[in-house]
Every structure is written in C-alpha cells, then in structure tokens.
Amino acid sequence: MYDLTSKVALVTGAASGIGLATARRFAAAGAAVILVDRNADGLAAAVESLGDGRHRGVTMDVTDEAAWAKLADEIDRDAGRLDILVNNAGFGVFRSIADTTLDHWRAIMAVNLDSVFLATKHLLPLLARSGNSAIVNMSSIRGIAAAANTGSYCAAKGAVRMFTKATALECAALGNGVRANSIHPGHIATPLSAGVHADPAIAARLLADIPVGRVGTPEEIADAILFLASDASKYMTGAELVVDGGSTAQ
C-alpha cells in the first residue's frame, strides 16, 4: 500500500529537513521525485543522495507564480503526469505582534501560504489527469493551537489547514481523483530549528510541553507524509494529521 512505483512526486523545501526526508521515503517507495528548493547547492546534494537518475532538482522561488507555470509545463512535457504534490516549503521567525513588521508578515505568508496556493493552482490539472493523486500540505500544530509571539506563523499555518480542506472539497465535487490533506508536526529537529533546540533554556521549555519527552525527527514526519501520499490513506481527504508527540492532546 506504500508502493509508489511509476508515480511522479514533487516536494518543495526538499534540500534539507522534512522535505529531504520525504523525498528519500518517496524514492525508496519507487517514485520519481522532483525536488524543489531555492538552495541550489543543497538541492544538488539532496538529489545526489537519492542515488539514481530518476530524480531531478529544480532551483526556484516557490513564491514566484511564473516559475510555477513554467515548471508545470516542464513536468507535462517531460513526465506527462504528476501523482503527488507535497507543499513543504516554509519558515518561521517568531515575534510579538508589536514587533512584527508588515514586510515580515508578508514574507511569512508568501512562503508558508502563497506557495501552497500557487503550486496547487498550477499543478492541479496534472494531478487531476492522473485520476488517483494526493496533495499533502505542510501546516503545523500552530495551525491548530496558537502560542504567544507566533501570530504571523499561526495565521499562515491555520490558513494552510483551511485551504487544504477547501481544496479537498472542490476536488471531490469535481470527481477528479485528487485527495488533499494537511499534516501538523510538533517540535521537530531540523536544520531550521537547530538554533532553538541548541539553547538549553528554550529546549527545556519545549520538552516540558511534549508528553513523550523528546522532539520528533524529520523521518517520522516523512513516514506520515508517505502514508498520506499513498493508497494506504485513499479514503482520507480534507483531514488533518497531527504528529506532535502528544503536545496538542493536553
């Protein structure tokens, strides 16, 4: 049920962290993976790490609509199909509302939310053509439960959660075979979060909020994404899968 042989998958933010772990899971399951990231060097290393010639890297800004339109045309020309879309690219810089500038707000929205809309808009025709495809959008526990000094990030991830549900219902109404679900990680040890986890005081506060007593790994989130992308979840759409060590159960 986790067999992705003959499928084509696209993962954004794929040069490191959860995106790279997901690309590796997909490749191991048999998919040809298109890795998208703005980090050209990291992307080249990521593609090389997958170990065969089925995969390709695309260096691009996920907030650039023209780049998405161009990539959709290239995938159509080269592969003729797309079966899985994982909108993983994102970042967070946490500040109080008073210290959040409009430029900061817009940057958070652009990468975490606008990119999800743009990828969905331009790649949906290819996904629909497959007739049995999956969109997995990266939200967060902050798309479900807020915290102080995370206003812009909460707003973006909450919007991803609801956009995913709207996408699922629209695709179901069209009968195009596209499922859409969101995934909501808790605290995960990634390169982007390394600075936070390296601070003993902050790390202690984080661990105190996680019932299982540890942060998660990118591979654990990738496993959940593989489930949502595969036929193992074929009756799931418009759902939110929380993978957080019990944080939001409190």
Name all contacts of 207-210 with Cβ < 8 Å and 24+ positions apart: 209/247, 209/250, 210/186, 210/244, 210/245, 210/246, 210/247
* E strands, the chain, in order: 8-12, 32-37, 56-59, 84-87, 133-138, 178-185, 240-243
Instruction: Give me the sign of the Cα torsion angle 234, 237, 239, 240.
Output: positive
Catalytic residue among 68, 153, 163, 227: 153
Whether 153 is catalytic = yes
Running DSSP on this structure, what letter comes out for residue 2? -
The C-alpha atoms of residue 49 and residue 54 are separated, in whole angstroms, by: 12
Q: Are 240 and 144 in contact (CB under 8 A)?
A: yes
Q: Are 158 and 112 in contact (CB under 8 A)?
A: no
Distances (CA, A) of 150 to 97, 102, 159, 225, 244: 8, 14, 14, 24, 17
Instruction: Give me the sign of the Cα torsion angle 1, 45, 66, 154.
Output: positive
Which of 161, 183, 186, 205 minimizes the C-alpha distance to 246?
A: 186
Residue 122: CA count within 13 A, CB half-sphere: 22
Helix (H, G, I), strand (E, B) or coil at 30: coil
Active site residues: 153
